Copies of this chain bind each other. A is one copy, B any other.
Amino acid sequence: MGKKGILVVVSGFSGAGKGTIMKRLLEDYPERYALSISATTRAPRPGESHGKEYFFVSKEEFEEMIEKDALIEYARYVNNYYGTPKDYVFQQLEAGRDVILEIEIQGALKVKEAFQDTLLLFVSPPSAQELKDRLVNRGTEERAIIESRLNRAWQEAQGVENYDYFVINDDLEECVQEVHNIIRNEHARVTRNHTVIENIRAELKGFAKGD
């Protein structure tokens, strides 16, 4: 298409399956999508490697990135920083790839504020009951943890009105296709086609004058 990519933020209730959806998008359409990789100051866990799960950096390096405005958004949890470096995202967007960021709702709204063109998708199970069932059926979590997750989900649901799309993950295949279609169609938005429209308009003006 020769057009710039779109910055897409995907959020959703834990248990909504957003990780799986994003993995599938990258597998099915490797030339179209890039996944943003976060930087963090926390230590790598076994099996994690630099530039794959995260960019692992020191506290000093991270604070330098903050100072240089080199991050799209960042947050501090407990004693560690987590953030999205601009460089990689902008490179991919310039190359025409749509870049997917998986972040929670507060980060998503910060990104949208800084980059108004950002497309915000929220992934949800078909119902709260279904979300509860999925959390219970994982079988690994205690009741207290499940309740705290549901409580967190309820808090998260407060900001959904600021998103562009509310995607229901009922059938995974259908949901992957729907998310792909939404992102693809977003390229046809008038607000993303000012140059194309301007060009056609200028050409038409020439013709109308009998050029």
Contacts and interface: CB of A to CB of B under 8 A. Distances in A.
A4 to B, nearest CB: 16
A161 interface: yes
Contact of A150 (B147, B199, B208): B208
B204 A128 contact: yes
The secondary-structure label for the interface of chain A is helix
B204 A190 contact: no
Interface residues of A, number: 45
B181 A131 contact: no
A106 interface: no
B153 A204 contact: yes
A166 B154 contact: no
A43 interface: no
A80 interface: no
A207 interface: yes
A200 B130 CA distance: 10
A157 interface: yes
Given A151-B208, A178-B185, 11 more contacts: A128-B203, A157-B201, A160-B190, A161-B190, A161-B194, A161-B197, A165-B189, A167-B188, A178-B188, A181-B185, A182-B188
* In the complex, the 4 A-B pairs of residues with the closest C-beta atoms, listed nearest first: A128-B203, A151-B208, A154-B204, A150-B207
